[in-house]
Chains A and B, each alone.
Chain A
Amino acid sequence: MQLDSRVPSGPIEKAWENYKFEMKLVNPANKRKYNIIVVGSGLAGGSAAATMAELGYNVKCFCFQDSPRRAHSIAAQGGINAAKNYQNDGDSIFRLFYDTVKGGDFRAREANVYRLAQISVDIIDQCVAQGVPFAREYGGTLANRSFGGAQVSRTFYARGQTGQQLLLGAYQALERQVDAGKVEMIPRTEMLDLVVVDGKARGIITRNLITGKIEAHVADAVVLGTGGYGNVYYLSTNAKGSNATAIWRAHKRGALFANPCFTQIHPTCIPVSGDYQSKLTLMSESLRNDGRIWVPKKQGDKRAPAQIPEAERDYYLERRYPSFGNLVPRDVASRNAKAVCDEGRGVGESGLGVYLDFADAIQRLGKATIVERYGNLFEMYERITGENPYELPMRIYPAIHYTMGGLWVDYQLMSTIPGLFVIGEANFSDHGANRLGASALMQGLSDGYFVLPYTIGNYLASTKLEKVTTSLPEFCAAENGVAEMTKRLLSIRGNRTVSSFHRELGKLLWDHCGMSRNEAGLKEGIQKIVSLREDFWKNVNVLGSGEELNQALEKAGRVADFFELGELMCRDALDRNESCGGHFREEYQTPEGEALRDDVNYSYVAAWAYPAVLHKEPLTFDYVHPSQRSYK
């Protein structure tokens, strides 16, 4: 398959402007004749649904939580980037673009990233106007901080709850459109299939999570803003309900899945405490601005941290990366934490942890400043661990956090199925092989407020859409398929719970396709996943019926998809014989143990057709010359 990214020609600074001028517009009076489905109410879906409704389209928006305000974007802590250069420290659109392409280890599409950097400035304006209470200086201007991987202060934040405040802004804009009758919001409802008619996305099949009712919905275009798939690992910083079902089922209907093995491990999470553990909690990366990371120099040093004198501590990031120190990008910080723990120098009960120490910062800035900057994060840490981080250093360990991979989209954010658009974390677009901190919120809102509402108009204005109804055979077949799968899951009544399968799958993936990967391990991982999947379909135990609120049934459907996605992730990782960003193949590293890219053979987006057929979108770099990333 020839993948056409549809990047406009001409200089990159003008690409988006030219595109906007050249695209076809839908006449304002005609917009209300179009029905658009948006699945997801996070930053991406919520902002897109609100904006398209403002423009006049009829929007139906779905989410699985009881309210759109609870999408997992709510949990983002640290902040959102924008090239405002308010701090006068040399930031610019080009620098944000450059940092993002480089941070993504040269596996992202330049034109998309440039557009993202351009739009970043509008996002902040929009959010301020909505009443998002960003942090401010005493003079009343917006405050900024620097964030992992950047040497300028371009991150805007609202205490440690930036995602919450941005999401509430989008949610309020969405509810305004609900009130205006332009958005029908359908919560507690899960999309379980995509309906394709004449090669175009024309609707979805959903299950009402309270009544179990399976329903078909027709539309002129379908937008997926369903978030990332990090929960394939069971333990991750995602919410318990985060899942891949919407994108996976669209993939099975023909949408290519790009770079599934590009997953991000966040260096600063609270370590696992036991096998009942249900999720991992992130401690915002902004903590690395003031906290210093260390482990004892000696192996197996079980002394309390205060008992270990300065000379016997190894501030390993400051030592190995003198210019970035504790602020190296996430992948580098995570791998180094794993390395020191593998050497037997990890801290805490399990030995899987490193210290993040604020003693110096408290002395330098005073406790009040630390409370102001991180108070709520410190409280959260204490609530979970029972330890006071003002007195004891925090213990942290890497955890799965974000998925750069997702459905393949072109410059218009349209997948390989015409009329199916994918936004936010659910697409693969802007972060290459590694995402920089504070840029997912930026991307979600850029897609939703500023890109999709234009590009979808171009599609609608230039496409002939036949009238369809839910009585078409395509809708009936998809609806029956969903009902069948529900019945099948409920009829197995085996001897293992859904969660126990999910936990085992997650462990398999973490071991074989986690922080570092190798050929033998990946091959073994695939075999184990396949056999565990067979066992799942013979032995899973889902009680109750499909006609009621049945949380085990919801989970079972999601885990069934995770099994298939997990296998594809391993295949993708196996195909990519290089290390780049979050994808570290042990066979490909520099003598110092840094990731070794292979630009000659692997400078492409791996876009997979179902089942596991590889297509490639070659990447070219005209503005940022690929170099070995160095943070020394």
Chain B
Amino acid sequence: MNLTLHVWRQKNATDKGRMTTYAAKGVNPEMSFLEMLDVLNEELTMKGEDPIAFDHDCREGICGSCGFMINGVAHGPLPKTTVCQLHMRHFKNGDKLYLEPWRASAFPVLKDLVVNRSAFDRIIASGGYVSVPSGSAPDGNAIAIPKQDSDRAMDSAQCIGCGACVAACPNASAALFTGAKIHHLGMLPQGQPERKKRALRIVAQANAELFGSCTNIGECEAVCPKGINLEVIAAMNRDFLRASWSARPDAVVAE
């Protein structure tokens, strides 16, 4: 199968960038999308042209490294699938594909399809954890946790931090990402002591990183490779509101 690829090329963070067209010939339908790009990159290298840079590592849909827009859709057309797990059998001969990096002011482009997502780490650092020093934990079975609760916590904990939700959102909001962490820890007894502080700090950090506000559009849920549910945003809003009413101010400014 033969495809035409229009790929965003940008040398570095200060370069303006442009779309460049490539022909991908003889693509095997069993290949993954990134393998198709590997082959193209080998050809470009042998022609003396700079290969296309893209982030990737596990190629199993779990590390969250990969991700770019394919024809305007984060991670491409297949639902609940990262681009490393997308296979060429879902495309057809003659397709024209436009590949572009995540676009959001909180995710500046570093080169070609590679963006800087360190804002996500700073959000987790602001409160996405349970403060429990090594060696200070009670027995694992000391607190019984209803299976339904731990299953629901797991549903949100699955987030891979790829950033597709931000890229898909017209407001470039990170609400699905922040909501997933707040909901994961909020579902569990271990997460209760810091629940209010967590909601306040995470929301404040997301704003400081210039992510937009959530207006319930739902594009994030549609592209999320892990199928994280929109209800985590409602859970976050509830925790945030409650905390705003009831948390003592010094609980917010402390640290």
A binding-site residues for B, Cβ under 8 Å: 47, 50-51, 54, 65-70, 72, 74-75, 84, 86, 122, 124-131, 133-142, 158-159, 161, 164-165, 168, 171-173, 175-176, 178-180, 185, 187, 210, 239-241, 273-274, 276-279, 281-282, 379-380, 383-384, 386, 449-450, 453, 495, 497, 499-500, 541, 543-544, 548-549, 551-552
Contact = CB atoms under 8 A, between A and B. Distances in A.
B125 A239 contact: no
A180 B53 CA distance: 34
Contacts of A500: 42
B45 interface: yes
B63 A126 contact: no
Given A175-B121, A549-B111, A130 B129 contact: yes
4 pairs of A and B residues whose beta carbons are closest in the complex: A140-B144, A172-B129, A129-B137, A175-B125
Given A69-B64, A135-B150, A136-B147, A240 B121 contact: no
A278 B32 contact: yes
29 contacts: A51-B134, A66-B55, A67-B121, A70-B65, A74-B64, A84-B140, A125-B140, A126-B135, A131-B191, A133-B187, A139-B144, A140-B145, A140-B146, A172-B128, A172-B129, A176-B129, A179-B126, A179-B255, A239-B57, A240-B58, A274-B28, A277-B35, A282-B60, A383-B78, A384-B32, A384-B87, A543-B45, A543-B50, A548-B11
Interface in B129-168: 129-141, 144-147, 150-151, 153-154, 157-158, 160-161
Contact of A142 (B124, B140, B188): B140
A543 B121 contact: no
A138 B147 contact: yes
Given A67-B117, A240-B56, A278-B35, 4 more contacts: A66-B65, A139-B144, A240-B58, A383-B81
Nearest to A379: B80
B116 interface: yes
A450 B141 contact: no
**Most chain-A CB neighbours within 10 Å: which of B50, B59, B63?**
B63
Interface string B48-90: 1111010111111111110000000000001011000101010
A384 B114 contact: no
A137 B135 contact: no
B86 to A, nearest CB: 8
A138 B150 CA distance: 10
Interface string B23-48: 00000101110110011001001101
A549 B59 contact: no
Contacts of A548: 11-12, 111
A133 B58 contact: no
Given A86-B141, A541-B45, A161 B62 contact: yes
A386 B87 contact: yes
Interface of B: 11-12, 28, 30-32, 34-35, 38-39, 42, 45-46, 48-51, 53, 55-65, 78, 80-81, 85, 87, 89, 110-111, 114, 116-118, 120-121, 124-126, 128-141, 144-147, 150-151, 153-154, 157-158, 160-161, 184-185, 187-188, 190-191, 255
B121 A68 contact: yes
A72 B130 contact: no
B57 A65 contact: yes
A75 B62 contact: yes
A128 B48 contact: no
A581 to B, nearest CB: 26
Given A70-B64, A278-B38, A548-B11, A168 B157 contact: yes
B133 A54 contact: yes
Given A125-B138, A142-B141, A497 B188 contact: no
B57 A70 contact: yes
Contact of A175 (B46, B62, B128, B191): B128
Contacts of B39: 276
Nearest to B130: A131
A549 B57 contact: no
Contacts of A282: 60
A69 B162 CA distance: 11
Given A172-B130, A543-B45, A133 B65 contact: no
Contacts of B110: 210, 549
